[in-house]
Structure 1
Amino acid sequence: MRNAEFTDPRLVAVYDVECPWGRDDDFFLSMVGEPPGVRVLDFGCGTGRLALGLAAAGHVVTGVDPARACLDAARAKPGAERVTWIEGGAEVLPGRAYDVAVMTSHVAQFLVTDGEWAGALSALRRALVDGGRLAFDSRDPADRRWERWNPVDSRRRLRLPDGGEVEVWTEVTAVEGGLVHFTRHYRFPDRELRGDAVLRFRTEQELRGSLAAAGFRVERIHGGWHGEPVGAGADGELLVIAVAA
């Protein structure tokens, strides 16, 4: 199943264990900054980790995601009542409603086609006030991260909240142009599940061009979570902060 980690409730629980609060969340939280009360859109909010952190910091947060299973998990967490949760994609975004929009956990890379990406950027531009900021992460293709996604290096055993265990690993199945196809394997005691996915790896130049076409001005792009220049650190990221022009 395509992107099963976001649509299968059993795999959503695994995702939550695999992806606790980390330095990426610290980066985006500090980017939104202070004082409280900023109207923030978390586009592709998943199970709500960052959205809940932003709301706890006093911001007015809307979490939007097309995966109902992820939103169900988000709504069940402590503090969920502080966030407005909306099921859907770019088509549900209101106009000029937010001061900041974020796309985290490499959501940008799940927008595979040029049309999907351009449509999302246009909708995000419309959703932001003039001068509002958009921040997102996308892996730098020059880092060739997918070469480390293999059944040996990626294999790990996780303990779930219900006390059960699952063994997970990743297998890249094809690399063509900027597209990386891979399968995620989940071995539970009673069965093995799998989910297929495709990510788009865009270069810095591609990101800059698409942002300009959608009405954004790039403010800065970092290569790592501590503000390193692109290509200078070990993180292999393109951390983009742009302004709605």
Structure 2
Amino acid sequence: MAVLAERSAHRVADLGCGTGRLAIAMAEAGHEVTGVDPAPAALAAARRKPGGGRVRWLQGSADRLTVRSLDAAFMTGHVAESFVGDEEWDAVLRGLRRALVPEGRLVFDSRDPARRPWELWDPDGSRRTVVLDDGDAVEAWSEVEEFGRNTVHVTERYRFSDERELANSATLRFRTEPELRDSLREAGFRVDRIYGGWGREPVGLSGDGEFIVIAIATPRLMS
């Protein structure tokens, strides 16, 4: 949110908005917000939330955004890791660049593969209890299969109090800092800052093991 104040950004998009927590918060702070997500169920939940009517919701990806309609764009919650293939990732960045005005900001997070965070996602190390809104306690844990360079397949498993089990799987790609910089440059961005953690620490000096990326749209509009 501090980036919005730096830029005096009014028109903002949240790509991979999920159920809209960040998008609604930005709208309630006075910004004109578009939330974009491929999952219709997530968008339906977002619309039902208090404040959901303040946000324009779109199903899809960055290609749904209007050219030069944004002052800033966000991808939070490690959404950037879900774009596994280089062509898919490059298309997302180009779509965001087209949607941003020159000097507009792109902000996203991605975990540093040098820390190999997925090694902590074994069933024992990741096992936890989640309490739902209705008070039901759900046991949750992760299972990971590493099948490529900095690429993993993650399955989140949930066991309810009535012994029902559900599973949700995703493939994630953890790009290195040079890979992120190169892809941003090719898409028409220049990197302003990359932090290593939520306290704005330098890369490699934070226990968070993050890349917090702030990039600026160059005047060159990508086709």
TM-score (structure 2 length as normaliser): 0.94
Amino acid at match of 1:129: V
Amino acid at match of 2:173: R
Quote the residue 2:167 is aligned against.
Answer: 194
2:153 aligned residue (181, 192, 210) = 181
Contact 2:140 2:159 in 1 (8 A): yes
Quote the residue 2:214 is aligned against.
Answer: 241
Listed as ranges, the matches of 1:124-203 within 5 Å are: 124-190=96-162, 191-203=164-176
1:67 aligned residue (16, 19, 39) = 39
Listed as ranges, the matches of 1:95-134 within 5 Å are: 95-134=67-106
Q: After the TM superposition, which of the residue ranges 135-144 and 165-174 deviates more from structure 2?
A: 165-174
Classify 1:74/1:180 alpha carbon distance in 2 versus 1 (closer, same or farther; 3 Å).
Answer: same
What is the deviation of 1:189? 2.6
- Structure 1 gaps of 5+ residues are 1-28
Q: Secondary structure, in 3 states, of the residue corresponding to 2:179?
A: helix
Output one character per residue of 1:183-204: Cα deviation in whole Å (capped at 9) or x when no partner: 1101113310112211000000
Whether 1:47 aligns to 2:19 is: yes
What is the deviation of 1:104? 0.4
Contact 1:139 1:236 in 2 (8 A): yes
Q: Secondary structure, in 3 states, of the residue corresponding to 1:213?
A: helix
Whether 1:225 aligns to 2:184 is: no
Q: Tell me how far apart the structure 2 counterparts of residues 219 and 37 of structure 1 sit (CA, whole Å).
A: 16
Amino acid at match of 2:64: V
Alignment RMSD, CA only?
A: 1.3
* Runs ≥4 residues deviating over 4 A: 34-37
Q: Tell me how far apart the structure 2 counterparts of residues 146 and 35 of structure 1 sit (CA, whole Å).
A: 35
What is the deviation of 1:174? 2.2
Q: Secondary structure, in 3 states, of the residue corresponding to 2:126?
A: coil
Quote the residue 1:21 is aligned against.
Answer: none
Q: Tell me how far apart the structure 1 counterparts of residues 37 and 198 of structure 2 sit (CA, whole Å).
A: 24
What is the deviation of 1:134? 0.3
Q: Tell me how far apart the structure 2 counterparts of residues 96 and 34 of structure 1 sit (CA, whole Å).
A: 19
Q: Tell me how far apart the structure 1 counterparts of residues 7 and 217 of structure 2 sit (CA, whole Å).
A: 20
What is the deviation of 1:81? 1.0
Q: Secondary structure, in 3 states, of the residue corresponding to 2:110?
A: strand
Identity of aligned residues (%): 58
Amino acid at match of 2:52: A
Q: Secondary structure, in 3 states, of the residue corresponding to 1:33?
A: helix
Q: Tell me how far apart the structure 1 counterparts of residues 104 and 9 of structure 2 sit (CA, whole Å).
A: 14
Q: Tell me how far apart the structure 2 counterparts of residues 84 and 34 of structure 1 sit (CA, whole Å).
A: 23
Q: Secondary structure, in 3 states, of the residue corresponding to 1:212?
A: helix
Contact 1:37 1:58 in 2 (8 A): no
Amino acid at match of 2:217: A
What is the deviation of 1:100? 0.2
What is the deviation of 1:37? 6.3
Q: Tell me how far apart the structure 1 counterparts of residues 200 and 6 of structure 2 sit (CA, whole Å).
A: 19
Q: Tell me how far apart the structure 1 counterparts of residues 85 and 156 of structure 2 sit (CA, whole Å).
A: 21
Output one character per residue of 1:53-100: Cα deviation in whole Å (capped at 9) or x when no partner: 111111111100001111111111111111111111122111000000
Q: Secondary structure, in 3 states, of the residue corresponding to 1:108?
A: helix
What is the deviation of 1:143? 1.1
What is the deviation of 1:216? 0.2
Contact 1:36 1:59 in 2 (8 A): no
